[in-house]
Structure 1
Amino acid sequence: MLRFIGAVAAAGLLLLGPAIAETDWSSYGSFKSTRCEDAKTIADIKESMQGLEFNDGGGRAFRMASSVKISKSRTIKATANMLVCQLSLRTVEAGQNHVYNARHTVWLEPGGKWRTLFQPNY
Structure 2
Amino acid sequence: METTTFLPRIALFVRDGEILGQIERILRDHYSSLLVISEREKLQEIDSPIIVITDSIQEVALIRDIPPVDGTEILVVARDDDNEMLSAAFDSGATDYLAYPFAEAEVITKTEKYLTPFRDE
Shorter-chain TM-score range: under 0.3
Scaled by the length of structure 1, what TM-score is found?
0.25
Using the size of structure 2 for normalisation, the TM-score is: 0.25
Larger relative contact order (Cα-Cα within 8 Å, sequence gap ≥ 6): 2
By percentage of residues, which structure has more strand?
A: 1
